[in-house]
């Protein structure tokens, strides 16, 4: 079982790869069908959804960690109590987010230069319906249900591609994309709940208490907020500072360049619960991190090399001639995403083993990036430079933190050995 990380990562990697293929088909199809300006509007909305969805995405990591712990110790009753409590709390939080989103939809639409507030209001409705997905993902990770996780990775992309394409073909344009995304969230949420429902039939332990849930979830929340800013805020800033046409071109480069950042996704999905389970059993976790980093450098590094060497042909194949001007930033975009690819792995490793200080590093990095973009935005290349430099700084700081923790642990172990020797 020592190579279980590689086996499950391979299964999920193939599923995520298939899902990513359909996601790219989706982006390519929408880029060709919607036009440059509407394509930029679509991706600006998706970036807003990614940032506003952070509070709910954070529950994925929290549940994966806690349920992995209970699963490793065979405490299914306590796991089920936590699952039920999570559904209730997230529903209430989602309703509050929906209400706030509708109230502020006019202001957000003005910032993003939309003619109507309806797309923004629809976006928050999608966010509300999509709440079930991060909850179910965290539960399935914690229960090590990697088969269903693989289905979710493929199914979500396939369903969205088919539904959105049909709706756009019949003339709904941006509203068709939003409607297709909404129906996909409903369908995936229902299907992914099926194995969880079976697990809930085992009963739950009513004595399960929140305990130190708030202190556990704060580093996860802070890290996810920070990473969302580091990886998604650029599209929103470009939509705000530049013309709709320039924002559309940048969105096409972002779709291609950020593939480098998302390649470790399958590794992270299997890494997180394994680290959490090993931590619960007081077993080593460093070997899992080293394998994950090696695989990340191989995948993301290879992807960055291809995009850096052949940006023009890649843009032409994916988006056609009307997006050709975006080719000049694709290579640099891929390089800028490399530190973020490594940060994804380091962030999830720290969250799984219960680290805290890493979240402060990432929070400081996200603030620094916002300040940098606000000061340096004369061109989209300036924005990418800010992302690259801040990403490198965060990566170095996170590695330094791990090295310090490893050294401290070694010193403690040596001290215990010396004490035992006496």
Q: At a CB cut-off of 8 Å and minimum separation 6, what does 330 contact?
A: 253, 256, 257, 307, 311, 314, 315
Closest to 134 measured CA to CA, from 164, 99, 98, 89:
89
Task: Look at residue 320 and tell me whether its pLDDT is greater than 70.
Answer: yes
Residue 104: CB atoms within 10 A of its CB come to 14
Task: Look at residue 364 and tell me whether its pLDDT is greater than 50.
Answer: yes
Top-confidence residue, 409 or 379: 379
Both tokens of residue 205? 């332990």
Average pLDDT taken over every residue of the chain: 81
If you write DSSP's letter for every residue of 191-221 in order, what string do you get? Answer: HHHHHHHHHHTT---TT---TTHHHHHHHHH
What is the rounded distance in angstroms from the CA atom of residue 153 to the CA atom of residue 15? 6
Contact between 244 and 397 (Cβ < 8 Å):
no
Task: Look at residue 211 and tell me whether its pLDDT is greater than 60.
Answer: no
The size of the chain, in residues, is 422
Both tokens of residue 296? 């990340």
Cα 103 to Cα 100, 107, 108: the distances in Å are 5, 9, 10
Both tokens of residue 2? 């020592």
pTM over 0.85: no
Confidence band of 23 (pLDDT split at 50, 70, 90):
confident
If you write DSSP's letter for every residue of 5-65 in order, what string do you get? Answer: HHHHHHHHHHHHHHHHHHHHHHHHHHHHHH-HHHHHHHHHHHHHHHHHTHHHHHHHHHHHH
DSSP-H helix ranges across 281-356: 286-309, 311-319, 327-352
The mean-pLDDT minimum among 45-49, 262-266, 358-362, 390-394 falls in 262-266
Give residue 168's pLDDT: 92
Give residue 1's pLDDT: 42
Strands (E), 133-236: none
């Amino acid at each position: 079982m020592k190579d279980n990380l590689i086996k499950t990562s391979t299964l999920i990697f193939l599923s995520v790869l298939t899902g990513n293929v359909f996601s790219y088909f989706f982006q390519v199809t929408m880029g060709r069908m919607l036009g440059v300006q509407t394509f930029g509007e679509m991706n600006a909305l998706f970036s807003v959804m990614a940032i506003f969805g952070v509070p709910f995405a954070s529950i994925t990591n929290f549940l994966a960690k806690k349920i992995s712990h209970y699963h490793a110790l065979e405490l299914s009753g306590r796991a089920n109590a936590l699952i039920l409590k999570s559904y209730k709390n997230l529903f209430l939080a989602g309703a509050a987010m929906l209400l706030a989103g509708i109230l502020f939809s006019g202001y957000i639409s003005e910032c993003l230069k939309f003619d109507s507030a309806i797309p923004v209001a629809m976006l928050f409705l999608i966010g509300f319906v999509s709440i079930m997905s991060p909850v179910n993902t965290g539960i399935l990770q914690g229960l090590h249900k990697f088969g269903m996780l693989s289905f979710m990775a493929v199914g979500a992309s396939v369903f969205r591609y088919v539904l959105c394409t049909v709706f756009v073909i019949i003339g709904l344009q941006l509203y068709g994309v939003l409607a297709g995304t909404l129906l996909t969230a409903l369908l995936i949420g229902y299907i992914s709940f099926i194995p969880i429902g079976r697990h809930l039939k085992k009963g739950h332990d009513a004595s399960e208490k929140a305990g130190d849930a708030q202190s556990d979830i704060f580093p996860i929340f802070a890290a996810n907020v920070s990473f969302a800013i580091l990886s998604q805020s650029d599209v929103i800033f470009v939509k705000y500072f530049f013309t709709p046409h320039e924002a559309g071109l940048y969105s096409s480069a972002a779709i291609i360049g950020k593939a480098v950042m998302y390649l470790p996704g399958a590794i992270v999905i299997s890494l997180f619960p394994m680290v959490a389970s090993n931590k619960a059993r007081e077993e080593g976790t460093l070997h899992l991190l080293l394998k994950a980093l090696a695989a990340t450098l191989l995948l993301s590094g290879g992807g960055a090399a291809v995009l850096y060497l052949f940006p023009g042909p890649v843009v032409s194949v994916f988006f056609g001639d009307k997006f050709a001007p975006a080719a000049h930033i694709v290579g640099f975009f891929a390089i800028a995403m490399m530190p973020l690819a490594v940060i994804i792995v380091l962030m999830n490793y720290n969250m799984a083993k219960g680290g805290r200080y890493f979240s402060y590093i990432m929070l400081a990095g996200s603030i620094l990036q916002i300040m940098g973009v606000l000061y340096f935005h004369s061109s989209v290349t300036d924005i990418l430079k800010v992302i690259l430099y801040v990403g490198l700084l965060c990566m170095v700081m996170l590695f330094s933190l791990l090295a310090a923790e490893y050294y401290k642990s070694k010193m403690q172990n040596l001290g215990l050995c010396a004490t035992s020797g006496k």
